[in-house]
Amino acid sequence: MTGAGELNVMLNGRPRRVSAPATVASVVSLLDVAPDARGVAVAVDGEVVARSAWERTEVHDGAAVEVVAAIQGG
Amino acid sequence: MDAGTRAAGRELDEPLVIAGRRLGSRLILGSGGFANHELLAAACRAAEVQLCTVALRRLDPSARGSILDVLEELGVDVLPNTAGCFTARDAVATARLAREAFSTDWIKLEVIGDDRTLLPDAVELVAAAEQLVDEGFTVLPYTTDDPVLARRLQDVGCAAVMPLGSPIGSGMGLCNPYNLSIIVEHATVPVILDAGVGTASDAALAMELGCDAVLCASAISRAHDPVAMARAIALAVRAGRLARGAGRIPRRRYAQASTPVEGMPQLGPSASAQWASTA
């Protein structure tokens, strides 16, 4: 159940409840990411949201938010 | 300096150019498998690489330090990949994330067909390559050693082709040097041997076959001494390139003496007979 003024989002595969309205920036901040952290990118429901748009992009109820960063590989 | 030395110098100094960008090294380091960032940094220094792959995964807030900081401090550029993607759709989405995360249009495109062999899925690979080229990416696809597939990737606009020598991490070397030769012969874009290198001689062979560069991860990161192996493989790439330019001799089934027979002294008992014949 979602309380009044709350949204359910899937953040990196884990269900999280956030207060509404929520932006990409506010959801990303749940991960303790420095706002200027380098090499971090976000997709909402599979679509990339440019960092410049994090503050103004609202996240809808049920959204899947993926926050990725560089690791060793390849 | 004589003419021969100058020619050799030219051969080594001629930079690798991909999509108009000059790269200072013909060895590209894959960053996978290093025990820590310090070891990766030491390997980068030992091999004097200019380009190093990175992958994208869900952000881990507990992760210590960023690989990006390590590479930046070394002056090594990032080559993001789409490792772990099984479909064109996932690979394209990952490439877009990489472009956003790293501010580069370059992508090492991997679309894997099964997780046991990690061999590329040709159908998905070509579809993803075509889409990414359309979106302005500089696409470097990891591919099989199939000359026809390499041509298809080149035809859709890939900036290089990266055939495997053998499966990723297998260390089996170059299983089909004949196919690799055919790929090199017909390529109009750089050919980068990707995957399968087990030790320095494999990298040298790839360059002797005419590959323009070698990408190597496991052979270095999982070696007993990764820093020494990084150096060894970097030298092998240079040696192989030089040997390719120098031109190997043809193989033949029988020996060919390198010392002339003419002028051989007669040293056996018949030497006295020789003297007698002049008397």
Q: Contacts of residue A53 in chain B, CB cutoff 8 Å?
A: none
Nearest CA in chain B to A13: B58
Instruction: Say whether A69 and B108 touch across the interface (CB within 8 A).
Output: no
Is residue B222 within 8 angstroms of chain A, CB to CB? no
Residue position matching structure tokens 């990690």: B118
Say which DSSP state B266 is in.
Answer: -
CA separation for the pair B85, B93 (Å, rounded): 10
- Confidence band (pLDDT; 50, 70, 90) for B10? low
Do B147 and B179 contact (CB within 8 A), yes or no? yes
Please list, in sequence order, all residues whose beta carbon lies within 8 angstroms of the beta carbon of residue B268, skipping any fewer than 6 positions away: none
With CA atoms as reference, report the closest residue to B78 among B31, B112, B111.
Answer: B31
Is residue A36 within 8 angstroms of chain B, CB to CB? no
Instruction: Say whether A67 and B59 touch across the interface (CB within 8 A).
Output: yes
With CA atoms as reference, report the closest residue to A28 among A6, A1, A9, A3.
Answer: A9
CA separation for the pair B268, B250 (Å, rounded): 36
Per-residue tokens: B97: 């994330």
CA separation for the pair A56, B9 (Å, rounded): 56
pLDDT at B7: 57
List, for residues B200-222, the tens digit of each pLDDT value: 999 999 999 999 999 999 999 99
- Confidence band (pLDDT; 50, 70, 90) for B12? low
When CB atoms are compared, the residue of A50, A66, A74 closest to B58 is A66
Q: Contacts of residue A48 in chain B, CB cutoff 8 Å?
A: 93, 96-97, 99-100
- Confidence band (pLDDT; 50, 70, 90) for B88? very high
List, for residues B39-66, the tens digit of each pLDDT value: 999 999 999 999 999 999 999 888 777 8
Instruction: Say whether A69 and B56 touch across the interface (CB within 8 A).
Output: yes
pLDDT at A2: 53
Is residue B108 within 8 angstroms of chain A, CB to CB? yes
Domains of chain B (ranges; CATH) run: 37-245 (3.20.20.70)
Tell me the pLDDT of chain B averaged across its residues: 92
Q: Which class would CATH give A6-69? A: alpha beta
pLDDT of chain A, 74 residues: tens digit per residue: 455 689 999 999 999 999 989 999 999 989 988 767 788 999 999 999 999 999 999 999 999 999 999 999 98
Q: Contacts of residue B69 in chain A, CB cutoff 8 Å?
A: 38
Is residue A71 within 8 angstroms of chain B, CB to CB? yes
List, for residues B144-200, the tens digit of each pLDDT value: 999 999 999 999 999 999 999 999 999 999 999 999 999 999 999 999 999 999 999
Cross-strand pairs, B191: B161
With CA atoms as reference, report the closest residue to B157 among B175, B131, B192.
Answer: B131
When CB atoms are compared, the residue of A12, A48, A74 closest to B59 is A12
Q: Is the preceding peptide bond at A21 cis, omega within 30 degrees of 0?
A: yes
Output B15 or B234, whichever has higher pLDDT.
B234
Q: Contacts of residue B90 in chain A, CB cutoff 8 Å?
A: none
Do B25 and B49 contact (CB within 8 A), yes or no? yes
- Region for B271 from its dihedrals, namely left if φ exceeds 0, alpha if ψ lies in -120 to 50, beta otherwise: alpha
List, for residues B223-269, the tens digit of each pLDDT value: 999 999 999 999 999 999 999 999 999 999 999 888 888 998 888 77
Instruction: Say whether A39 and B66 touch across the interface (CB within 8 A).
Output: yes
> Could you please report the per-residue DSSP string of A24-48?
HHHHHGGGT--TT-TTEEEEETTEE
Is residue B45 within 8 angstroms of chain A, CB to CB? no
One-letter amino acid at B258 equals S
Cross-strand pairs, B140: B108
Q: Contacts of residue A50 in chain B, CB cutoff 8 Å?
A: 100
